[in-house]
């Protein structure tokens, strides 16, 4: 029988990150993301007795469940494309300024398009780091790669995105 009190603590601590990751992978479809996250945590509680702190963190364990669930989901729903992060856009400077609001929305969409051009593995790293809030160390654990490699890949990916965005900005002027 699972320890519901312990699981509830893990749920409260990690559900926002799982939701953020799923939300971005489902083209920011809130309803779909909520359904998927519910299914993920249902699977997690059903298998909670298999979780062992000695084998790794709960965060790594729940991420693996999440990743496997999404692979199965997208495999069975091929017409639904996965998306990427739109939170790399700057925060809105003045919500009352409709011209600025419109400009920010355009910039956000350009960033999303640039991110969507990334290879799937790099897109996933950017989502984990900047939307789900994973540390480099945590990303290294869940991807089974070295932390320095993750840092280098993310740094280079951000540099590539910056060049793409500067190129787009230059073309639009």
| pLDDT tens per residue across all 173 residues of the chain | 567 888 889 999 999 989 988 888 887 788 899 999 999 999 999 999 999 888 888 988 999 999 899 888 888 876 444 333 333 443 333 444 556 656 666 777 777 777 778 898 998 888 888 877 888 998 998 888 999 999 999 999 988 888 888 776 655 55
SS3 label, residue 77: coil
Total domains present in the chain: 2
* 168 and 102 housed in the same domain: yes
Containing domain of residue 126, as a range?
98-172
pTM of the model: 0.58
What CATH code is carried by the domain that includes residue 148?
Answer: 1.10.10.10
Determine the pLDDT at residue 86.
38
Q: Is residue 140 part of a domain?
A: yes
Tokens at residue 40, please? 């993920």
Find the CATH number of the domain harbouring 56. 1.10.1740.10
Q: Is residue 52 part of a domain?
A: yes
Q: Where are the alpha helices (DSSP H) in the chain?
A: 4-25, 30-46, 58-76, 98-116, 120-130, 136-143, 147-172
């Amino acid at each position: 029988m699972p320890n519901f009190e312990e699981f509830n603590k893990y749920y409260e601590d990690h559900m926002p990150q799982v939701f953020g990751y799923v939300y971005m992978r489902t083209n920011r479809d809130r309803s779909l993301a909520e359904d998927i996250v519910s299914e993920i945590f249902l699977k997690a509680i059903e298998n909670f007795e298999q979780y062992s702190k000695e084998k790794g963190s709960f965060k790594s364990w729940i991420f693996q469940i999440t990743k496997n669930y999404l692979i199965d989901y997208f495999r069975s729903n091929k017409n639904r494309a996965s998306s990427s992060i739109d939170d790399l856009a700057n925060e809105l400077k003045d919500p009352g300024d409709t011209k600025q609001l419109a400009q920010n929305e355009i910039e956000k969409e350009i960033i999303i398009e640039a991110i969507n051009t990334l290879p799937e593995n790099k897109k996933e790293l950017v989502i984990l780091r900047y939307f789900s809030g994973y540390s480099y160390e945590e990303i290294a654990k869940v991807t089974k790669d070295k932390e320095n490699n993750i840092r280098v890949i993310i740094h280079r990916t951000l540099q590539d995105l910056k060049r793409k965005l500067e190129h787009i900005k230059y073309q639009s002027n």
